[in-house]
Structure formats: C-alpha cells, structure tokens
C-alpha cells in the first residue's frame, strides 16, 4: 500500500458518562494499565505527523481535567446534548481539509489504521459481523434472520473531507435528523460514497465493566507480542 501524506485534524469525543460502566465518573477517565482511556487515542494522533491539530470534546464542567493536555496542537471544545451536536460544534473549529472523528472510548486504534484510512477520501473503519443477527418484533419474538454476508460493524475513526462532513452535519441539524454515526449523515444527505476499511476486532469501545477486562487483556497481549 502506498503511504499517503494527508494533513488532517482529529476530533476526539470525550463527553461520555459512566452510566453503563456503573462508574461514578466519565468512563474515558477510567484507567487501562496506568493511563486514562482517552489518552491512548490522543497520544496516537499526536504521533502522526499528518495530524495538525486535535480537538478534545468534553463537558464544560470537566474542562479543568483536560487542561494539562492542552497545547498549541490540542484544544478543548464543549460538547452538545447529543454526540452529533458535539461533532458539529467541534467541526466549526476544524481548518484542515480532512478530519478524523473518533470516540475517546476506543483506545486501541493503531497507526496502521490511520494510514489505511488516509489512503481514501471518505472512509470508516469497520469489521465484518461475526454473530448471527436476528430481527425481532415488539414481543421479543424472532421476525427474521438477517444474512450477515454484507453486514459490518462500524467503528471509529471515521475520515472525511472536511467540507463534506460539515455540510451534512448542518443539513442533519436543520432537518432534525439524528444519525447513528457520522457516515450515516453522509449516506442521508449526500450521494458521496463512503469506503469501508477493514479494521480490527481489538478496536473495541469501552462501554461496560466487561470491556475493561477485554481491554486489559488486549493491552497485555500487545505488550507480549
């Protein structure tokens, strides 16, 4: 694969909660090994010379926590009520021609993932669905089995032309449309194709207490490999 130099800004969404984690704080502040979860992706982006700026998106009341990470290259933006609002707020601060949008609760993305994404103009990381997928009715009874050959689980980062993603986010805001991820807004409000880049099953999102167990196992495996 040809390595592509493509300057971009990175948006790291860090305005989560600890509800499903059964934690008393924002889950991205919890530690894997000796690091807060969000710092793994922050450090990754800072290690990529193509990344010209990083925008941390968090809650206003948590800004002080992020203060020690802020530099000329790392800034903080207050998020919105929904993830989509947070991304739109952050996009107004992006000057680069391309942007990576990433969930701060995904600490295991790699530099190779970023390189593969940058080989495209608009692309997302994803992995093929491994489980059998059932569609159910309101009574929790099986309605259909969905063929999984064409099904992929979307991940982040998601990489876009900045002008495109700004346009579709504004269109979604104006229409009152709430998408499930940033790529879904491109699907809804443009005809621009988005490429699937094969990611890793290790690129998990830390959401529940069990995910911390998996996360520590992934870290241990990487340290011994």
pLDDT band at 3 (very low <50, low <70, confident <90, very high): low
Measured distance CA(76)–CA(66) in Å, rounded: 8
Q: Is there a contact between 104 and 177 (Cβ–Cβ < 8 Å)? A: no
pLDDT at 19 over 80: no
Of 22, 119, 97, 8, give the one whose Cα is nearest residue 54: 8
Q: What is the rounded average pLDDT for all residues in the chain?
A: 93
In this prediction, what percent of the chain has a pLDDT beyond 70?
94
Task: Report pLDDT digits (tens) over 88-128.
Answer: 999 999 999 999 999 999 999 999 999 999 999 999 999 99
Mean pLDDT, to the nearest integer, of 166-192? 98
Domains annotated for the chain, with CATH where assigned, are 8-224 (3.90.550.10)
Instruction: Look at residue 24 in the predicted model and tell me its pLDDT.
Output: 55
Measured distance CA(88)–CA(149) in Å, rounded: 33
**Six-digit token string for 155:** 């991940």
pLDDT band at 34 (very low <50, low <70, confident <90, very high): confident
Instruction: Look at residue 27 in the predicted model and tell me its pLDDT.
Output: 82
Instruction: Look at residue 135 in the predicted model and tell me its pLDDT.
Output: 94
**Six-digit token string for 90:** 């952050």
Mean pLDDT, to the nearest integer, of 40-63? 96
Model pTM greater than 0.75?
yes
User: Which has more pLDDT, 103 or 19?
Assistant: 103
- The residue assigned the tokens 């009520």 is 81
């Amino acid at each position: 694969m040809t390595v592509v130099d493509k300057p971009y800004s990175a948006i790291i969404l860090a305005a989560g909660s600890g509800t499903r984690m059964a934690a008393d704080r924002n889950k991205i502040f919890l530690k894997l090994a000796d690091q807060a979860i969000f710092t793994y992706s922050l450090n990754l982006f800072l290690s990529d010379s193509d990344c010209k700026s990083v925008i941390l998106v968090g809650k206003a009341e948590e800004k002080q926590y992020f203060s020690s990470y802020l530099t000329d290259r790392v800034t903080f933006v207050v998020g919105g009520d929904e993830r989509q609002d947070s991304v739109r707020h952050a996009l107004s601060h992006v000057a680069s021609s391309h942007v990576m949008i990433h969930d701060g609760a995904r600490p295991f993305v790699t530099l190779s993932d970023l390189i593969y994404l940058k080989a495209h103009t608009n692309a997302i990381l994803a992995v093929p669905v491994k489980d059998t997928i059932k569609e159910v009715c309101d009574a929790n009874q099986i309605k259909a089995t969905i063929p999984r050959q064409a099904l992929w689980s979307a991940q982040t980062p998601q990489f876009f032309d900045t002008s495109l993603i700004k346009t579709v986010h504004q269109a979604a805001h104006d229409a009152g449309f709430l998408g499930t991820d940033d790529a879904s807004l491109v699907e809804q409000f443009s005809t621009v194709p988005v490429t699937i880049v094969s990611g890793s099953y290790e690129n998990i999102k830390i959401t529940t207490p069990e995910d911390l167990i998996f996360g520590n196992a992934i870290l241990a495996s990487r340290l011994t490999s």
